[in-house]
Every structure is written in structure tokens, then in C-alpha cells.
């Protein structure tokens, strides 16, 4: 068994941050569905801006909002306006064809990669 990439949102822009909120990453509900993520799922977040990598979990933001929000202590590592990649993995003994979603500067779906 290996951990394989299952879901990815590529080139998302962090639109909000809230240090006082109990930690997580808020993602537009439409993007959660397009990428095949689940609410509460553990994810790896990588900043293309700073190179920082962190693990957290997903909460849902309003569908169609384009909102990608860093919450809690993660705000100290990845800031508003940074470009990020959001990845989910699955433990499997078979190859997985991951859903890789490309978004525009407003975090709107462009295409599957």
C-alpha cells in the first residue's frame, strides 16, 4: 500500500485569513466537489509563493464564492494573496487517476489537468 495523489487544486489564491478561528483551510464548496475532496479531509497545502508546506483539514466555504481561507495558526505560515496548491492523498495498492483542478486568479474552475 502507498499514499497516492487523489485530488489537487492547482494555483489557488488565498483570499482570506483569520488567526482567531480554530484551524483549517476553507475551500469554495464547488471546488471541493470538482476536485473530489471531502469536508474534514486531511490535506497538504504548499505555497508557491513562500515554499511553506503544512497539513490541515478542509472546511466548506460558500459555493461559487471563490473563497480559499487560511484559519488558525496556519495563517502564520501562509498569508492572504499567496498562491497555493492543495493536495489530498489516498492509501491504495492500485494506481489512482487523480482529479487535478486548475483555477484562475479568482479561484474559479478553468479545467482538469
Active-site residue numbers?
24, 57
How are strands ordered across the β-sheet holding 42-47? Answer: 16-18, 68-71, 24-28, 53-61, 42-47, 83-92, 2-13, 99-103, 109-112
For residues 92 and 38, give the distance between their C-alpha atoms in angstroms, rounded to a whole number.
17
Amino acid at each position: 500500500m502507498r499514499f497516492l495523489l487523489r485530488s489537487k487544486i492547482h494555483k489557488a489564491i488565498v483570499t482570506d485569513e483569520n488567526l482567531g478561528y480554530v484551524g483549517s483551510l476553507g475551500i469554495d464548496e464547488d471546488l471541493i466537489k470538482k476536485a473530489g475532496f471531502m469536508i474534514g479531509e486531511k490535506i497538504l497545502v504548499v505555497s508557491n509563493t513562500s515554499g511553506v508546506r503544512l497539513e490541515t483539514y478542509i472546511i466548506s466555504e460558500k459555493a461559487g464564492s471563490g473563497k480559499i481561507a487560511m484559519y488558525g495558526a496556519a495563517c502564520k505560515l501562509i498569508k492572504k494573496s499567496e498562491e497555493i496548491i492543495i493536495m489530498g492523498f489516498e492509501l491504495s495498492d492500485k494506481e489512482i487517476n487523480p482529479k487535478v483542478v486548475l483555477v484562475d486568479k479568482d479561484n474559479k474552475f478553468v479545467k482538469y489537468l
